[in-house]
Chains A and B, each alone.
Chain A
């Protein structure tokens, strides 16, 4: 039996002639926090819809707790909690009423439902506003309530579909803290976003999708290793001197490329630490005075650009 909490095998979904999800396979183990990254239109939301049964796959399968879902009413759906991209809330009702409704649809009732609602609201810091209509909430508060609804039935796996869209920095940070707290509680998280910094903060594994396909599925560290070609070093020199010093620099084992222009030496190195040491020693050997030094380590953004040739925010 598959020990994964959630796994997909060759998952495929087509809309007409367009293939939105093309043979996607991955597995998420209990307690993992996985980031699903990709630009708009990469197939992230369609994948989430397939995982939750909102869409029927044209090919492949989704296994939840080792078995495929048997239908709309499969009780194992309670293992899932979805935070949709949209604010799926009833604005005319209070937070409490919203939670009561969605909780009841999850099968909660009576004191268990009341306690779950109280706990979820407390977790996202909205306990004191539970009797207020949602339409009186700020955008950030609505986002937090959106998260609370998904937590109501204490799901094992939380699917967060771009949960910070349109949120101010303060509320975004509050949501991050909530998600980090959920990780500490041992919840499994699949976090969809096109913000690299969110994945770097919240996840320990990253799946990058583009054009409906997985192009990378790796740990955060492993992924950064793939971006070595973008380790950069910038050295400012005091003077311009003729000679063979530039050829010497280019010949260093850690240096992949070097360009000099207007007192600035731009280098691409295999490893920042080794490259810095070698380059500074070489320049000193040639009697050059260094007035400034800057390093640039690859971000996921760089990795994505390297892998796809596009930035994440390309549509």
Chain B
């Protein structure tokens, strides 16, 4: 025990005497994780630093309908809207400074309603987009329909206008001389009844705001008959229900830099052997198991300190919270630290020399963090890659942290990641035991 504690104390002293290593272990992952987190959704919610998708709207109509469309986008937290002119919008999209611009054409207010009944009069809303940002284009395109219909319904279609269309319809029906026009009588009765009904609601909005996607309570208006209603429910057990991109990025980047730093430390172990340090160690009554166990524990402790530092920063600055189980989070952190420590030692044992280990280590580390979802969440991977990534310990580490932070799951969700990582720890430990040269040969 004295020897193990001596090794741990010594390694920590050695590590903390190296300023560059400390920067790599604490400062760099925090910086990169902050950047990555802001790319992948920030802190989520209204207080998030992401602020939604920035779009441009050119209102060439300036009617109640067009202003209603603009207001609908402005009030949607998914978007950050800038109203501008067409030339500026085209220039900004062309330069890639904005991904999408909407051009609301002149006559939108007057032509949108007749356009519902007459395709020849439909106004054309132009959507300018950066061809490299198709997801944003699709999002705006999808959101455009209910917002325009909602604005038209609220601002354009009134009972007296509808009665005019009905009267026009009745006139057209009576002028139609075809003797066997099917359902003539049914149409006539339908239009006449609708006319009577509308006559009772003169000077009121015909359609309520449901079509714009908001609630219908407290209105006597009809609702536009959209074929469905939507309700969103964020499936996390977090208190906010938001996705916090920083929770993921700090887990991922923390993991990556822990691996890189521990690898560097393991390479240092090989350098020590080359420098004759093992000769001195071997003269002491020190067992191989004690030595490797001590080294593994000191690396794991460095990993614990680094990951704790990363998450502490994320909690203080980016409001990352352990929304799930604290014991589960701690178990994930400890298992991740043991796994990364044993992995670093295993790579050193396989690499045999500092140069060989550096080459193998960089390749393995980058592959594991990339496939393991440390850079970008695994859910953006294709299905086959998501399945493949389950064979990497890093995927389980990241999933474990995600489950305990922003997903807000209970301790039971940490059991599998922790068990898998401990399994990997045993595997890497066995590789280290089998491959690390202890003799001076």
Query: What residues of chain A have their CB less than 8 Å away from a CB belonging to chain B?
Result: 15, 49, 52-56, 71-75, 77-78, 80-82, 84-88, 90, 92-93, 97, 100-102, 104-107, 109, 133, 149-150
Contact = CB atoms under 8 A, between A and B. Distances in A.
Nearest to B275: A86
10 A-B pairs with the lowest CB-CB distances in the bound complex, closest first: A86-B276, A104-B6, A54-B440, A101-B10, A105-B284, A88-B280, A82-B283, A77-B285, A92-B17, A88-B276
B281 to A, nearest CB: 7
Contact of A72 (B9, B18, B285): B285
24 contacts: A49-B440, A52-B279, A52-B282, A54-B279, A54-B440, A72-B286, A72-B288, A73-B287, A77-B284, A78-B285, A82-B279, A85-B276, A86-B276, A87-B276, A88-B277, A93-B13, A93-B17, A97-B10, A101-B9, A104-B3, A105-B7, A106-B285, A109-B2, A149-B280
A133 B17 CA distance: 10
A100 B6 CA distance: 8
Q: Give the dominant DSSP class at A's interface.
A: loop
B14 A104 contact: no
Contacts of A71: 287
A80 B285 CA distance: 10
A88 B3 contact: no
Contacts of A78: 285
A90 B9 CA distance: 14
B279 A49 contact: yes
Nearest to B280: A88
Contact of A77 (B6, B279, B283, B441): B283
Given A86-B275, A92-B18, 11 more contacts: A49-B279, A53-B282, A54-B440, A55-B439, A88-B275, A90-B10, A93-B17, A101-B9, A104-B10, A107-B285, A133-B17
Contacts of A86: 275-277, 279
Contacts of A109: 2
B301 to A, nearest CB: 16
Nearest to B441: A55
Q: Give the dominant DSSP class at B's interface.
A: helix
A102 B284 CA distance: 8
B281 A105 contact: yes
B280 A82 contact: yes
B127 to A, nearest CB: 61
B293 interface: no
A73 B283 CA distance: 9
Contacts of B2: 104, 107, 109
Most buried by B among A15, A82, A87, A104: A104
Contacts of A54: 278-279, 282-283, 439-440
A298 B248 CA distance: 78
A84 B13 CA distance: 23
Given A55-B441, A92-B14, A92-B17, A73 B278 contact: no
B283 A87 contact: no
Nearest to B11: A101
Most buried by A among B277, B285, B439: B285
Interface string B252-282: 0000000000000000000000011111111
B276 A56 contact: no
Contacts of B5: 104
A37 B290 CA distance: 35
Nearest to A78: B285
Contacts of B17: 92-93, 133
B276 A84 contact: yes
Interface string B1-31: 0110111011001100110000000000000
A93 B440 contact: no
A52 B283 contact: yes
Given A15-B441, A52-B282, A81-B283, A105 B3 contact: yes
Nearest to A71: B287
A71 B289 CA distance: 12
Most buried by A among B7, B283, B286: B283
Nearest to B5: A104
A230 B310 CA distance: 75
B285 A74 contact: yes
Contacts of A106: 284-285
Contacts of A97: 10, 13
A107 B3 CA distance: 7
A80 B283 contact: yes
B277 A73 contact: no
Nearest to A108: B2
A82 B277 CA distance: 11
Interface string B412-441: 000000000000000000000000000111
B14 A93 contact: yes
Contacts of A92: 14, 17-18
A88 B281 CA distance: 9
A106 B278 CA distance: 14
